[in-house]
Amino acid sequence: MSLKPNDWIRPEIQNLSAYHVPPAEGLIKLDAMENPYTWPDALLDEWLLRLKTTSVNRYPDPAGTQLRNRLQETMCIPQGQGILLGNGSDELIQIIAMAVSGKGRVVMAPQPSFVMYQMIAKFVGMRFESVPLRAVDFSLDMNAMLSAIEQWYPAVIFLAYPNNPTGNHWDRSDIEQILEAAPGLVVVDEAYAPFAADSFMSSLGRYPNLLVMRTLSKLGLAGLRLGYLCGPQDWLAEFDKVRMPYNINTLTQVSADMALAHAGVFQEQAEDIKLGRVQLLADLQALPGIEVFPSDANFILFRVPVGKAGAVHRALMDSGILIKLLSGSDPMLVDCLRVTVGAPAENQAFMTVLRRIFSGG
Ligand SMILES: *Cc1c(COP(=O)(O)O)cnc(C)c1O
C-alpha cells in the first residue's frame, strides 16, 4: 500500500496552485508594487548602529510594543483604537480568517480583487463568495453587493481601497453603505494608502465592524514583512489569540521602528512615485490602441488590443522588463496587464520597449 498526498490533503488544497512568484533576476522589476528606491546613506549608517546593539539570542517582544507605539504616532491611528501586527498583511488576513472560520462561514470580496482573500479562505476551510465589479469602470455593483450580503451573511468582507489589481478606489459612500448592511466584519485593506487620496483610518470608532488593514510593503519595506490591523480593541483581543506569539521578528521590529522614525524619507519617495504615476499614465494614454485605467495606487492597469497581452508581456520580458500579466486570471481582466510605477529611468525603459512593440519595430 502506498500512501499518497491525495489520501489526506484536503481536496480544496489540492485544487489550489501555490502563489506564483516569477524569477526576476537581472530584470527591471515592475510586477509587484515595490518601492524602487533604497535608503539614503545616513539611514543605512543609523541602521547598522541599531543592528549592532540588537541581540537575537532572545525571543522578540511578543507584543511589538515600541513598534506599535511608533505606528500609532506616525500613521494617525485614532486614540483608543487597537493595533495588531502581522508578518505582512497576508498574515493578518489569515489571522482574521482563522478566528472566524467554521462550518458554512463565508468570506466575501468583490472580484477582481486581491487574490489572497480567496486563497486564505480556502486554506482555513471557509467558503469564498465574490461579487463581480461593474465592467465599465470597476466600481462596486451595489445592488449585487447588498443582495450578496443578504444571501451569504458573510462573516467578513474584504474591500481593498484602492483595489488591486484595478487601481481605482471605490465610492466612499458605497463602502459606508456596506459597513451599515454587513452582519459581520468589514476589513478595508489600505495597502496602497501611501499613494491614495482617501482613507478610512479616521472613521475607526464610528462603526463596530470596521477594521483598517495596512502594510509597510508598498511604502518601501516589503522585505521586512510588516502589516498592521487597526480597529476596536475587543475584536483585536480575539484575533490576538490566534496570532503566533513571536510573529514579528526582532530584526523587523527594530528596523521598522527606526525607519518610521524617518517616515518623511518614505513619504517623499511615495510623492516621487505619485509624480511618476502621472507621467506614466500620460505616456500610456498617448499610445494608440491602449486603454488605461485611472489609478490611486503605485501601479497602472492597462488593456492592449484583443489577444495581444501574452505577446506584449513576453516581448517586455525579452527586453528585460517584468510586469504582471492579468489576462486570463479573470474574465473582466481580458487583455489586461499591470505595471508598477518604478523610478523614472525604469518607467522610461518600460515605455521605450512598449512603444517599439506597438510601432511594430
Ligand atoms: C500587496 C497587497 C497586500 C499584501 O501586503 P503584505 O503586507 O506584503 O503581505 C495586501 N493587500 C493588497 C490589496 C495588496 O495589494
Query: What phi, psi does 113 have (nearest 5°)?
Result: -150, -165
Q: What is the pLDDT of residues 113-154, one digit of tens each?
A: 999 999 999 999 999 999 999 999 999 999 999 999 999 999
Reading the block at residue 25, the C-alpha cell is 533576476
If you search the block for the grid coordinates 515592475, which residue do you land on? 30
Calculate the CA 268 to chain-centre distance. Answer: 20
Distance 89 CA to ligand 1 centre (A): 6
**Residues 199, 350: Cα–Cα separation, whole Å:** 31
Tell me what the mean pLDDT of segment 2-8 comes to.
Answer: 92
The Å distance, Cα 20 to ligand 1 centre, comes to: 15
Q: What's the CA gap between 51 and 252, in Å, rounded?
A: 11
pLDDT at 2: 86
Number of neighbouring beta carbons within 10 Å of residue 26: 8
Nearest C-alpha to atom 1 of ligand 1 is from which residue?
191
User: Which amino acid appears at position 245 of this protein?
Assistant: P
Global confidence as pTM = 0.97
Burial class (CB in 10 A: 0-12, 13-18, 19+), 59: exposed
How far is residue 144's CA from residue 226's CA, in Å, rounded to a whole number?
Answer: 34
- Closest ligand 1 atom to 163 CA: 13
Q: Whose CA is nearest to atom 5 of ligand 1?
A: 89
Taking the CB of residue 271, how many other CB atoms lie within 10 A of it? 12
Q: Is 65 exposed, middle or buried (0-12, 13-18, 19+ CB in 10 A)?
A: exposed
Q: Quick one: pLDDT band at residue 19, thresholds 50, 70, 90?
A: confident
227 lines ligand 1 (CB under 6 A): yes
Instruction: Compute, in angstroms, the gap from residue 178 CA to the centroid of ligand 1.
Output: 22
C-alpha cell at 41: 546613506
What is residue 18's predicted lDDT score, i.e. its pLDDT? 86
pLDDT, tens digit, for every residue of 258-279? 999 999 999 999 999 999 999 9
- Is residue 60 reached through a cis peptide bond, with omega within 30 degrees of 0 on the bond before it? no
